Amino acid sequence: MIKIVILGAGNLALHLFKAFNKATNTEVIQVYNRSESSLQIFKNKTDTTTNFTQLKKADVYLVCVKDDAIENIIKKLAKTEAIVAHTSGSVALSTSATRNAVFYPLQTFSKQTEVNFKEIPICLETSEEKDFSILEKLAKNISEKVFPISSAQRKKLHLAAVFASNFSNYMYAIAEDICNKNEVPFEVLNALIQETAKKATLNSPKTVQTGPAKRNDQATIKQHLAQLNNADYKEIYKLLTQSIIDQHGKKL
């Protein structure tokens, strides 16, 4: 049984708490948070505290606080013999504890939606080589997708995720705006959006690229540009189209 103390009481803390509680080989023995109010949801389910000096002895301290508060918390744990793992995608492996680690589930979490952790990739890194297998055991208890990812790789992954998630969502938002302005229900595009995401993850997105830019279909491209009144959207259409043409014009 791996004993865990969770530090923080936000969305990620809550989802991890639920997942570890369901799993057989892990137990969350305590949740710490600076303020009392957010701890309410954990009461009666495990021990809670707002007092750092009353932290229980655990195998792993999981730091689930905001990026800019992580290092302060780890410093307070500098003397523990346990593993101290933060859960952020954009903060490097700390050097402040004795056994530093990263336990980063790559997904967006909101309070409303239930999360199936099995499908969520967990990216691991440890300062001590022998600790990797412990964290791996921990991660595999809740997820089927566990990856060793270094701090340098995690930085790149975070950048890649901006394209894969934030920017793809912005593409949907532009499509929605075009639909709204022309009284077309955005719902018409739902199946296409889902299928595109599915296709890209089953294959390599580069190999399944379609559309006028891929075909270098200048007649359609011109027609589309003429229809775009929004200056931003026009610029974006032009730039992405040219980039796709350049990329697919070259030999793979």
Nearer to a second copy, 132 or 147 (CB): 147
| 213 near a second copy, judged by CB under 8 A | yes
| Least distance to a second copy, CB of residue 207, Å | 9
Nearer to a second copy, 49 or 196 (CB): 196
Which residue, 60, 80, 48, is CA-closest to 20?
60
| 193 near a second copy, judged by CB under 8 A | yes
Q: SS3 breakdown of the chain: % helix, strand, coil, rounded to 5?
A: 50, 15, 35
| 210 near a second copy, judged by CB under 8 A | yes
Nearer to a second copy, 97 or 115 (CB): 115
Only segment of 11-19, 77-85, 127-135, 216-224 that touches a second copy (CB under 8 A): 216-224
Residues of span 149-188 touching a second copy by CB under 8 A: 149, 152-153, 155-179, 181-188
Cα torsion through 241, 246, 249, 251, rounded to 10 = -140
Alpha-carbon span 51 to 32, nearest angstrom: 7
Report DSSP state, residue 95: S
Nearer to a second copy, 18 or 186 (CB): 186
**Degrees (nearest 5) of the Cα angle 94, 99, 105?**
65
| Least distance to a second copy, CB of residue 130, Å | 23
Nearer to a second copy, 8 or 212 (CB): 212
Residues of span 21-60 touching a second copy by CB under 8 A: none
Q: Looking at the chain, which runs of residues are DSSP E strands?
A: 2-7, 26-32, 47-49, 60-63, 83-86, 99-105, 122-126, 146-148
Which residue, 143, 146, 4, 7, is CA-closest to 63?
7
Residues of span 93-122 touching a second copy by CB under 8 A: 106-108, 119-121
Distances, alpha carbon 138 to alpha carbons 3, 13, 85, 144, in Å: 10, 15, 12, 11
| 222 near a second copy, judged by CB under 8 A | no
Residues of span 229-248 touching a second copy by CB under 8 A: 232-233, 235-237, 239-240, 243-244, 246-247
Q: How many residues bind a second copy (CB under 8 A)?
A: 85
